[in-house]
């Protein structure tokens, strides 16, 4: 099938490359000329394991191409995916739909022949209706169906999540569009991916419900981790012990510094605004948001306490800056709140991340960045392990300890066994176990 993808960001690029890999003919479009130039020059502008190779292979065989010129690609496409950003609006936390509506207007002007317009971006209930209205207003004669097809991939594991999804959700009331979507996903369905066909508004709500539930699951285990610290229980074993219950499941029970990223924070807020609009209260989601915000701020207190009550004039080395490993994405990373609070307390910050430093520089001021974790720790009074990159979970602890001025190791991901850190002479503060 001929597919046009609008927005060559994390989701657009991964979706585009994966649909090409499945055999479709895909054009990825972005209005950012630098991004498209980079892709045309063979450089994938985001860090996502496996994406480089997949993009290169599909460009080579002519199934994947890039352009800033939306009109011809949309005109020729049977399926047009909208994969632009829907960030939280600063004013009220609602999803900013200006990019989605902008894309819809551009599609309306270009579309020719029967076209299925697919919203891959995460959008509030009713957005599909609004896109349809925009298209009908601009081009009353256009033969289009607007379909919701939310994306559930995780950054850092995006290719695997896309190619072997737990499910594909398609929301449309239009039977012809349903057949087109079944054909689009046929290669995955043939390999066993469940495809759930439902209504458009239901599909839009499924996406927010899934993200809110996962955010709540993480927040729940984080609260239990706090209790573990008080009652001298061990959070890793508690998580294992409950996760083995197949009704609960072991995944997303890793206690940490609070969830971050470009999606959970904004999507939980947007869901709350939708509920508010309809006079419904989602108290569990409200609490999830406020408990997680408070947790991110509380992580600095952990560091301050480990350093004896003050960080004034001390140096803290933060290892790992991105919101999770295997991505360069710094959006809503818990490291940002931690560093801000430590700087307010008078600490000097050293920082290292395997892939996120370029983005981190745009978010952080007065931070000394180091390409090497041991240099980052040199002279530091404390090291904080913030993101569980593989490389940061297998450090030479003797070397690290030797480089530091102090002995405090704050392991916010419980990446190292406590005994191992103690053996190397560290004072250890972790998550969910008594100090
Ligand atoms: P992103 O910011 O990485 O990429 C969006 C891209 O769209 C940018 O490159 C921007 O230049 C481009 N763009 C905006 N308007 C355009 C237009 N009119 N024409 C062409 N290009 C345009 O965003 P993302 O992280 O890929 O997220 C996209 C959507 O997918 C969001 O709604 C998000 O909630 C959802 N989502 C993201 C993830 C994730 O892991 N990042 C996972 C699932 C769903
Ligand atoms: C999340 C969802 O997992 C995806 O299904 C969804 O498609 C995506 O949001 C989205 O809508 O954009 P992502 O944010 O990329 O994916 O990454 P996650 O692996 O979910 O991690 C999010 C945050 O939760 C990270 O800060 C991570 O450290 C934290 N987390 C995750 C935990 O603290 N504990 C866990 O057990 C799992």
- pLDDT tens column, 328-379: 999 999 999 999 999 999 999 999 999 999 999 999 999 999 999 999 999 9
CA 160 to the chain's CA centroid: 15
The burial class, CB within 10 Å (0-12 / 13-18 / 19+), for 294 is exposed
Asked whether the predicted pLDDT for residue 271 surpasses 90, the reply is yes
Residue 252 counted as an annotated binding residue: yes
Average pLDDT over residues 207-220: 98
Instruction: Decide: 260 in ligand 2 pocket, CB within 6 A.
Output: yes
Q: Is 83 in the pocket of ligand 1 (CB under 6 A)?
A: yes
What's the CA gap between 387 and 412, in Å, rounded? Answer: 8
Q: How far apart are CA 141 and CA 305, in angstroms?
A: 66
CA–CA dist 117, 34 (Å, integer)? 26
166 backbone dihedrals φ, ψ, rounded to 5°: -65, -35
CB-based contact 274:208 (threshold 8 Å) = yes
Residue 371 structure tokens: 């390409």
- Ligand 1 pocket member 29 (CB < 6 A): yes
Mean pLDDT of the chain: 97
Candidates 95, 210, 259: which one to mutate for ligand 2, based on the most atoms within 8 Å of Cβ?
A: 259
- Binding residue per annotation — 133? no
Q: What is the dihedral of CA 384, 387, 393, 399, to 10 degrees?
A: -40
Distance CA 323, CA 257 (A): 10
pLDDT at 183: 98
- The rounded Å distance from CA 411 to ligand 2 centre is 19
The CA distance from 181 to 149, in Å, is 9
Answer whether 383's CB lies under 8 Å from 350's CB: no
Residue 67, pLDDT above cutoff 80:
yes
ipTM of this complex prediction, to 2 decimal places:
0.98
pLDDT digits (tens, 9 = 90+) for 182-195: 999 999 999 999 99
Closest atom of ligand 1 relative to the 262 alpha carbon:
41
Is residue 18 annotated as part of the catalytic site, yes or no?
no
Contact 14, 20 (CB under 8 A): no
Q: Whose CA is nearest to atom 44 of ligand 1?
A: 151
- Is 379's C-beta closer than 6 angstroms to any atom of ligand 1? no
Instruction: Kindly state the average pLDDT of the residues 124-134.
Output: 98
Report whether 19 belongs to an annotated binding site: no
147, pLDDT greater than 70:
yes
Q: Are the C-beta atoms of 254 and 238 separated by less than 8 Å?
A: no
Distance from Cα 261 to the centre of ligand 2, integer Å: 7
317-335 as b/e, with b when 16 or more CB fall inside 10 Å?
bbbbbbbbbbbbbbbbbbb
Give strand pairing partners of 169: 196
Residue 435 has what pLDDT? 60
Q: How confident is the model at residue 433 (pLDDT cuts 50, 70, 90)?
A: confident
Indicate whether 434 pLDDT > 80: no
Q: What are phi and psi of 266, to 5 degrees?
A: -75, -35
At residue 82, does pLDDT exceed 90? yes
**Which H helix or E strand runs over 28?**
strand 25-29
Is the pLDDT at 268 greater than 90, yes or no? yes
Spatial distance between the Cα atoms of 263 and 292, rounded to a whole number of angstroms = 14
pLDDT digits (tens, 9 = 90+) for 222-249: 999 999 999 999 999 999 999 999 999 9
Q: How far is the CA of 84 from the centre of ligand 1 (A)?
A: 3
Contact at 8 Å (CB) between 323 and 261?
yes
Please state, as a whole number, how many other Cβ atoms lie within 10 Å of the Cβ of residue 165. 18
Are residues 152 and 161 in contact, defined by beta-carbon separation less than 8 angstroms? yes
Q: Stretch 291-299: mean pLDDT, rounded?
A: 95
Residue identifier of the C-alpha nearest atom 24 of ligand 2: 259
Q: Is the pLDDT of residue 382 over 90?
A: yes
Specify the residue with its C-alpha closest to ligand 1, atom 9: 9
Give dist(CA 138, CA 132) in Å, integer.
Answer: 10
Can you list the domains of the chain with their CATH numbers? 2-197 (3.40.50.720), 199-435 (3.40.50.720)
Give the residue among 225, 287, 275 at the shortest CA–CA distance from 253: 225
- 31 annotated to bind ligand: no
320 Rama sector, left if φ>0, alpha if ψ -120 to 50, beta otherwise: left
pLDDT per residue as tens digits for the range 86-98: 999 999 999 999 9
Instruction: Give residue 264 CA to ligand 2 midpoint distance, Å.
Output: 7
What are the angstrom distances between the C-alpha of 430 and each of 209, 230, 234, 307, 402?
31, 13, 11, 14, 21
Would the annotation count 152 as a binding residue? Answer: yes
Q: Among 83, 148, 169, say which to mutate for ligand 1: greatest number of ligand atoms within 8 Å of CB.
A: 83
Among the listed residues 18, 28, 228, 263, the single catalytic one is 263
Judging by DSSP bridges, how do beta strands 168-171 and 79-82 pair with one another?
A: unpaired
Is the overall model pTM greater than 0.95, yes or no? yes
- The Cα–Cα gap between 154 and 55 comes to 18
């Amino acid at each position: 099938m001929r597919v046009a993808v609008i927005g060559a960001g994390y989701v657009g690029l991964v979706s585009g490359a994966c649909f090409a890999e499945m055999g479709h003919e895909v054009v990825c479009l972005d209005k950012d000329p630098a991004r498209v130039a980079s892709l045309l020059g063979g450089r994938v502008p985001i860090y996502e394991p496996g994406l480089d190779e997949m993009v290169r292979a599909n460009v080579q065989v002519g199934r994947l191409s890039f352009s800033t010129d939306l009109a011809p690609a949309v005109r020729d496409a049977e399926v047009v995916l909208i994969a632009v950003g829907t960030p939280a609006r600063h004013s009220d936390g609602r999803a900013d739909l200006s990019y989605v509506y902008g894309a819809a207007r551009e599609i309306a002007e270009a579309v020719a022949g029967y076209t299925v317009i697919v919203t891959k971006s995460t959008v509030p209930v009713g957005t599909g209706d609004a896109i349809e209205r925009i298209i009908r207003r601009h081009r009353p004669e256009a033969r289009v169906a607007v379909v919701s097809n939310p994306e559930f991939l995780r950054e850092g594991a995006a290719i695997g999540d896309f190619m072997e999804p737990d499910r594909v959700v398609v929301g449309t009331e239009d039977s012809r569009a349903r057949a087109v979507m079944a054909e689009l996903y046929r290669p995955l369905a043939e390999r066993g991916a469940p495809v759930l066909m439902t209504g458009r508004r239901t599909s839009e709500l499924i996406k927010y419900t899934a993200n809110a539930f996962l955010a709540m699951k993480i927040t729940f285990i984080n609260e239990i981790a706090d209790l573990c610290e008080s009652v001298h229980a061990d959070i890793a074993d508690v998580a294992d012990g409950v996760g083995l219950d197949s009704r609960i499941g072991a995944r997303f029970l890793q206690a940490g510094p609070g969830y971050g990223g470009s999606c959970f924070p904004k999507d939980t807020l947007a869901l709350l605004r939708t509920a508010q609009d309809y006079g419904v209260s989602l108290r569990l989601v409200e609490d999830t948001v406020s408990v997680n915000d408070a947790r991110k701020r509380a992580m600095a207190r952990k560091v301050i306490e480990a350093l004896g009550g003050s960080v004034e004039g001390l140096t803290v080395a933060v290892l790992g800056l991105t919101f999770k490993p295997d991505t360069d994405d710094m959006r809503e990373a818990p490291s940002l709140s931690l560093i801000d609070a430590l700087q307010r307390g008078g600490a000097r910050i050293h920082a290292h991340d395997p892939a996120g430093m370029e983005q981190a520089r745009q978010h952080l001021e007065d931070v000394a960045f180091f390409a090497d974790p041991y240099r980052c720790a040199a002279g530091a009074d404390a090291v904080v392990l913030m993101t569980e990159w593989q490389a940061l979970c297998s450090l030479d602890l003797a070397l690290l300890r030797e480089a530091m001025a102090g002995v405090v190791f704050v392991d916010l991901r419980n990446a190292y066994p406590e005994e191992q850190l103690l053996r190397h002479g560290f004072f250890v503060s972790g998550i969910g176990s008594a100090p």
